[in-house]
Amino acid sequence: MISRYGTYQFMKAQPGMHEGSPVARYYRADDPEWHWLENRESADVSDFLTAANQQHADWFAPLSPLADTLYHSHLARRELAVKSLETALDHFTFWSETGAEDDYPCWWRYPNGQPEQKSCFFDVRERAAEQPFYDMGDMALSPDEQWLAWTEDTQGDERFTLWLKALPNGTPRQLLSDIGPSVCWAEDQTADGATLLFTRFDDTQRPDSLWRLWVAFAEHAPMQTPTLVLREADPEFWVGVGKTRSKAWLIIESGSKDTTEVLALPADQPETPLVCLHAREPGVEVSIDHRPGVFYRLHNQTGPHFQLDMRAESDNASWQPLIAHRDDATLEGVDAFEWGLILAERSHQDAQVLLRRLELDSHHQTLLDSYIELPETPCSQLLEDSPHFNARTLHLREESFTRPPSWYALDLDSGVRTLLKQVPVHGSLAPEQLVSRRIWATSHDGEQVPVSVVMRADLAGQPLPTLLYGYGAYGEALDPWFSIARLELLERGVAFAVAHVRGGGERGEPWYLAGKMAHKENSFHDFLAAREALVAAHISQPEGIVAYGASAGGLLVGTCINRAPEAFCAAVLDVPFLDVLRTMQNPELPLTTAEYTEWGNPEAPDVAERIAGYSPIDNIRSQRYPALWIEGSWFDTRVSYWEPAKFYARVSQAQQEAAPILLHTDMSSGHGGASGRFKAWRDTARQDAFILWALGLGNR
The CB density around residue 608, as the number of other CB atoms within 10 Å, is: 17
Residue 485 has pLDDT above 80, yes or no: yes
pLDDT at res. 18: 60
Is residue 51 within 8 A of residue 25, CB to CB? The reply is yes
Q: Classify domain 54-75+436-579+615-695 by CATH architecture.
A: 3-Layer(aba) Sandwich (3.40)
The CB density around residue 668, as the number of other CB atoms within 10 Å, is: 15
Domain ranges of the chain: 54-75+436-579+615-695, 131-280
Which residues make beta-bridge pairs with 264?
251, 275
Residue 232 has pLDDT above 90, yes or no: yes
pLDDT at res. 1: 28
Q: What is the CATH number of domain 131-280?
A: 2.130.10.120
Residue 303 has pLDDT above 70, yes or no: yes
Q: State what percent of residues in the chain have pLDDT above 70.
A: 97
pLDDT at res. 65: 97
- Whole-number Å distance between alpha carbons of 381 and 373: 9
- Whole-number Å distance between alpha carbons of 6 and 691: 13
- Whole-number Å distance between alpha carbons of 525 and 531: 10
Q: Which residue did the predictor score with more confidence, 7 or 264? A: 264
Reported as a pLDDT band with limits 50, 70 and 90, residue 69 is very high
Q: Quick one: three-class SS letters along 434-470? A: EEEEEEEEECCCCCEEEEEEEEEHHHCCCCEEEEEEE
- Whole-number Å distance between alpha carbons of 546 and 572: 8
Phi-psi sector, 316: left (phi>0), alpha (psi -120 to 50), beta? left
**Which residues, at least 6 apart from 342, have a Cβ–Cβ distance to it below 8 Å?**
334, 335, 355, 356, 357, 358, 383, 394
Residue 308 has pLDDT above 50, yes or no: yes
Reported as a pLDDT band with limits 50, 70 and 90, residue 15 is very low
In 3D space, the residue among 291, 284, 282 whose CA is nearest the CA of residue 306 turns out to be 284
> What backbone torsions phi and psi does residue 502 show, to the nearest 5 degrees?
-65, 145
Which residues make beta-bridge pairs with 36?
none
Reported as a pLDDT band with limits 50, 70 and 90, residue 621 is very high
Is residue 647 within 8 A of residue 612, CB to CB? The reply is no
Residue 589 has pLDDT above 80, yes or no: yes
pLDDT at res. 637: 85
Residue 9 has pLDDT above 70, yes or no: no
- Whole-number Å distance between alpha carbons of 479 and 34: 38
Question: What is the pLDDT averaged over residues 651-679?
Answer: 88
pLDDT at res. 524: 98
Between the two ends of the chain, the Cα-to-Cα distance in Å is: 13
Please indicate whether the domains covering 54-75+436-579+615-695 and 131-280 agree at the CATH topology level.
Answer: no
pLDDT at res. 671: 75
The predicted-structure confidence for 508-528, as pLDDT tens digits, reads as follows: 999 999 999 999 999 999 999
Question: What is the pLDDT averaged over residues 524-541?
Answer: 98
pLDDT at res. 12: 31
The predicted-structure confidence for 265-281, as pLDDT tens digits, reads as follows: 999 999 999 999 999 99
Handedness of CA 41, 47, 52, 57 (dihedral sign): positive
pLDDT at res. 599: 96
pLDDT at res. 40: 94
The CB density around residue 406, as the number of other CB atoms within 10 Å, is: 17
CA distances from 323 to 331, 388, 412, 508, 694 (A): 9, 25, 21, 17, 50
The CB density around residue 360, as the number of other CB atoms within 10 Å, is: 21
pLDDT at res. 27: 96
Question: What is the pLDDT averaged over residues 646-670?
Answer: 93
The predicted-structure confidence for 127-145, as pLDDT tens digits, reads as follows: 999 898 899 999 999 999 9
Residue 8 has pLDDT above 50, yes or no: no
Mean pLDDT of the residues in the chain: 94
Q: Which residue did the predictor score with more confidence, 17 or 630? A: 630
Question: What is the pLDDT averaged over residues 446-460?
Answer: 98
HSE at residue 58, side-chain half, CA atoms within 13 A, is 17
- pTM for the model stands at 0.91
Q: State what percent of residues in the chain have pLDDT above 90.
A: 89
pLDDT at res. 673: 66
The CB density around residue 259, as the number of other CB atoms within 10 Å, is: 18
pLDDT at res. 92: 97
- Whole-number Å distance between alpha carbons of 452 and 37: 38
Residue 342 has pLDDT above 70, yes or no: yes
Question: What is the pLDDT averaged over residues 343-366?
Answer: 94
The predicted-structure confidence for 180-206, as pLDDT tens digits, reads as follows: 999 999 999 999 999 999 999 998 889
Residue 227 has pLDDT above 80, yes or no: yes
Collapsing DSSP to helix, strand or coil, 28 comes out as coil
